[in-house]
Amino acid sequence: MALDPFEVRIQFLNHLKRLNASQQSIQKVVGFAVKYFPPCGEDLWDCIVEECQKGSINSRINILYFLDSLCETCLLVKSHSSSIGSNPGNNQYVDFVNRDIGKIVECIVPPGREGLPNLTSTKQILENWRSKRVVDPQAVDDVLLALGKRTPPPVANQASVPASAPHRKSSSSLSRSEVFKRIEEDRERHKRLRERRWVQPISHRTPGQMNLLSFLPLSGENNDDVLNVDVEFENDWETTSDWNEDDDEAALDEANACFPAEGEGPMDLS
């Protein structure tokens, strides 16, 4: 039985409110969002933004990890559509993330002490999006720059607080159970990040296409085509050591082998 848009919205909000750090929970919500994107994509995205604004600080970081998996799934759906010859359409929710990335991060990492628990994980996700070209790298750079410009929250001086002053519990402080829940969920998220470091970048271009590496910023229709090779180049660039004496000797040996001195025989090509 098909759901009407109102029922889709209600069910999706319920899924978001029950979202946790486990992959089973994340993939369940991802599947629902992708399934109902054609009729209700914009409405479901509004639900995500709304939950980012209203949810607890723990639920907000869960939504960011959900968006990470959602973007990856949307790009895979587009790649699969291209490979079977059907119309790939747009990037689905990836376009919404590109458009509202600043607003989303502002909600997930609010200014002040409240946003500190989510700051490190958010930066990791953003850097992952930038390296894999999931989101426009310039947009990610702008968000990271804005996060870096934030002034650290002042540390309260206990000596300046009168002893008779009543102790007020901050509205953003977490209960003991929430703290332990956050620790467990952080452990699950960090485990997922470690696993993903070993996963090779996925090409979202049409199979069979070969492209040369472009050193120019990605734009237009070439984004998907050069994604995989650009990521491989960046990985190799980061892991290659600086030029040293061993490289000089290796280059000299190769030059002598290719261009023998006068009087020596030609290079053996057998």
Q: Which domain holds residue 32?
A: 1-151+174-201
Judge whether 164 lies within some domain.
Answer: no
Phi, psi of 262, rounded to the nearest 5 degrees: -60, 130
pTM above 0.75, yes or no: no
Which of 34, 42, 108, 115 lies closest to 72, judged by CA? 34
Residues 78/221, Cβ–Cβ less than 8 Å:
no
Digit-coded pLDDT (tens) for 205-238: 444 444 444 444 444 444 444 455 556 666 666 6
Judge whether 110 lies within some domain.
Answer: yes
Judge whether 251 lies within some domain.
Answer: no
What is the domain count for the chain?
1
Judge whether 220 lies within some domain.
Answer: no
Judge whether 134 lies within some domain.
Answer: yes
Digit-coded pLDDT (tens) for 79-137: 777 656 555 557 889 999 999 999 999 999 998 888 888 998 899 899 988 888 888 88
CATH number at residue 91: 1.25.40.90
CB proximity list for 141: less than 8 A, separation 6 or greater: 130
- The identity of residue 119, as a single letter, is L
Judge whether 60 lies within some domain.
Answer: yes
Judge whether 162 lies within some domain.
Answer: no
Judge whether 4 lies within some domain.
Answer: yes
